[in-house]
Structure 1
Amino acid sequence: MLKMLALDRFTVLLFIMVVLATFLPVSGQAAEIFGTITTVAIAVLFFLHGAKLSREAVVEGLMHWKLHGVVFAFTFALFPIIGLLCKPLLVPMLGQELYWGFLFMCFLPSTVQSSIAFTSVAQGNVAGAVCSASFSNIVGMFITPLLVSFFILGESTHNFDPTASIVQITLLLLVPFVLGQLLRPYVFPYMKKMPKIVKVFDQGSILMVVYGAFSSAVVAGLWQQVSAQTLILLILACSVLLTLIMLLALYVPRWMGFNRADQKTIFFCGSKKTLASGVPMAQILFIGQPLGMIVLPIMIFHQIQLMVCGVIANLWSKQSRGVE
């Protein structure tokens, strides 16, 4: 049951990082050193992602522009529109900072590894998922800072320069990814011998970033600002958002005439938001802002989407195999 609900070791470790940051936060010079190590780990992770992605999958995936257009519309149009429309309801419920975090989550690109993994389990269009998820993350490095500058930071400061943030995000995420693609013929053979290395860096870097972000937030008084009632309301808001998006991602592709495999790809790629890219982006975009409250919604949404997608992917896998 735990496996079906995606409550794996990573989920437990993520919770442990929050607890650890609550009682033993890293601060001062140690926090600066830890932040540097985390930045290097994230760069290595995106280098490995670039080396892992095959050219054949990219070419095959790029040909299906209609599928990618729908995923793009869900990720960077539908999510933000819903987030903006919810402002009159969510600001009184959650407060301004948590609403910013909720809206920032809506501006983020899709996940990469989990979107591909769930699409594969459900026997969807894996090549399309690889290309859509990767394309979403690459484009998100430019679109997310622009959306944040217009709809979030424009309310709190007049000195925000999205160009500088895009440059920093490009150097941290895109450059290592492209470098990994260029060096793939030399790096990928070694990666095949160590198939778990990407997973280790993926989960390890996220855990480090979450611990660092929550440490600084705890030092700044996060848990004095977020009550148990507010936390429950945030979980409810994330759950309602995911339910609405998943219903649309389930029925809109059917209405548009996509085949069953593509419907599954759109469902998993179009309904998810990345934690791996989201927290590093938040560190760059929200300097001087309450970072812990900004990343809390994406952390909660991330866990809910993993659990729900785990159940649905297993169900569709059984249906594909004819298992009742």
Structure 2
Amino acid sequence: MTTVLAPLTRPVAALLAKLRIDPFIAAILATVGIASLLPASGGTATGFGIASNIAVGLLFFLYGARLSSQEALDGLRHWRLHVTVLAATFVLFPLLGLATSVLSPGLLTSPLYTGVLFLCLLPSTVQSSIAFTSIAKGNVAAAICSASVSNLLGIVVTPLLVAVLLSSDGPGVSGSAVLNIVLQLLVPFVAGQLARRWIGAWIKQHSAPLKLVDRGSILLVVYTAFSAGMTEGIWRKLDLGPLLVLLGVCVVLLAVVLTVTGTGAKLLGFDRADRITILFCGSKKSLASGLPMATVLFGHAQVGLIVLPLMLFHQLQLIVCAALARRYAREAADEPGELVPA
């Protein structure tokens, strides 16, 4: 099959190289396009959701098998890095979200402003933060710990921040979310650690399976999330003008956070690998956690528009961070430089 497809894929790869378009970014954009034209719904959407969960579980199993126990403990003990990531996630982001109040209700409607602020209160995403950290040759062990801790704390911190900063009559977040994190992330990782004595050497010698899971899991998340938005008709509830304003807000928000985390990590004296981890773990927001939380915390008809900023920001962060990760991967052999996006 590879021999048959090679003559077809080579011209496409050559064209992307000539235009200086990252193939992975092209794959993400193609996935968004496919989801827009052919969104998964019903049983198909359920199947893609299950496939995404399996891919994420396999991702953590492979990381557990690849990382030595000492590396994992080193990642857990890296408290300065974790505090920095948590500060970006639960302090910097909320402050920026509150700052967008100057745009409401003039440029941002009340539901959209609520959505932007809700986006800023969410924990960091897990699988894409770790995958991009791995691609960029960052501190994967610390990324696993930091992203997982962010999600675990987010189960409690996000509803509390919503209660303080937003008006919400939701009943709270159920304990099933904590159980899902444990089953989907921690259990596969521990299983990989236990299986490392048998498959660890093979995983290190054959990087292709891990690379495939890294990128495949992100593409699955993109397709599943964008399909859900298309199926629910979220994009049809908004005119072009407010949508462009919202896009601008998301672009500025991501740019500011990437700049602050990249520059701040350097000023705090972190090495290159740790700065990459802080950059990717501290700049993302979790769609997987945000959608169910929004359903619980905002139990009314406006929930579709409230999660719209999150869906838009999620797609944007994947595209931008994919480009950054590949750039840092190409620079891995060079001297560490500024981790501030150009």
**Structure 1 residues 143 and 61: CA distance shift in structure 2, 3 A:** closer
Matches within 5 A, 1:170-319: 170-253=182-265, 255-256=267-268, 258=269, 262-273=270-281, 278-287=286-295, 289-290=303-304, 294-308=310-324, 318=334
Alignment of 1:112 with 2:126, yes or no, is no
Shift of the 24–156 alpha-carbon distance from structure 1 to 2, 3 Å rule, reads: farther
**Pair 275,292 (structure 1): closer, same or farther in 2 beyond 3 Å:** farther
State the identity %.
Answer: 26
CA change 1:64–1:20 in 2 (3 A) is closer
Equivalent residues of 1:58, 1:130 under 8 A apart = no
Is the 8 Å Cα contact of residues 18 and 214 (structure 1) preserved in structure 2?
yes
How far apart in 1 are the matches of 2:104 and 2:16? 31
CA distance in 1, matches of 2:150, 2:19: 28
Distance of 2:34 and 2:236 partners within structure 1: 17
CA contact (8 A) 1:105 1:278 kept: no
Task: Describe how 1:40-119 pairs up with structure 2 within 5 A.
Answer: 40-62=54-76, 64-89=78-103, 93-95=107-109, 96-97=111-112, 100=115, 103-104=118-119, 107-109=122-124, 111-118=129-136
- Distance in 2 separating the partners of 1:168 and 1:310: 30
TM-score scaled by structure 2? 0.73
The CA deviation at 1:139 is: 0.2
The C-alpha deviation readout for 1:41-64, integer Å capped at 9, x for no partner, is: 222222222222222323444554
Measured against aligned partners, the alpha-carbon deviations of 1:120-155 in whole angstroms (never above 9, x if no partner) come to: 4xxxxx5xx233311211202212222332344874
Aligned to 1:134: 144
Partner Cα separation in structure 1 for residue 19 and residue 121 of structure 2: 23
Task: Confirm or deny: 8 A CA contact 1:101 1:296 kept in the other structure.
Answer: no
TM (norm. structure 1) is 0.77
45-54 or 301-310: which moved more? 301-310
User: Contact 2:85 / 2:278 at 8 angstroms: preserved in 1?
Assistant: yes
Give 2:4's aligned residue. none
Counterpart contact for 1:242–1:305, Cα < 8 Å: no
Comparing 15-24 and 157-166, the one that deviates more: 157-166
Is residue 143 of structure 1 aligned with residue 153 of structure 2?
Answer: yes
Measured in 1, the distance between the counterparts of 2:130 and 2:100 equals: 27
Residues 319 and 193 (structure 1), Cα distance of their counterparts in 2 relative to 1, 3 Å cut: closer
Residue by residue, what CA displacement relative to the aligned partner does 1:242-295 show, whole Å, maximum 9, x if unpaired?
A: 333344335444554x2xxx2534542223358999343345434474366532
- 8 Å CA contact 1:47–1:180 kept in 2: the answer is yes
Residues 112 and 130 in structure 1, CA contact (< 8 A), matched pair in contact too: yes
Aligned-residue Cα RMSD (Å) equals 3.7
Residues 210-230 of structure 1: CA distance to partner in whole angstroms, max 9, x if unpaired?
222222221221221244444
| Contact residue 46 and residue 173 of structure 1 kept, 8 A | yes
The amino acid that maps onto 1:295 is M
Counterpart CA distance in 1 for 2:215 and 2:16 is 18
Query: Is the 1:94–1:234 contact (alpha carbons within 8 Å) kept by the matching residues of 2?
Result: yes
2:254 & 2:103 partners in 1: Cα distance? 17
Match of residue 25 from structure 1:
39
Query: Per the alignment, do residues 280 and 245 of structure 1 end up closer, same or farther by CA in structure 2, a change over 3 Å counting?
Result: closer
CA distance in 2, matches of 1:207, 1:315: 24
Structure-2 change in CA distance of 1:166 and 1:92 (3 Å): farther
Does structure 1 conserve the Cα–Cα contact (< 8 Å) formed by 2:62 and 2:189? yes
1:76 Cα offset (Å):
3.5
User: Unpaired runs of 5+ in structure 2?
Assistant: 1-14, 338-342
Structure 1: 5+ residue stretches without partners: 121-125
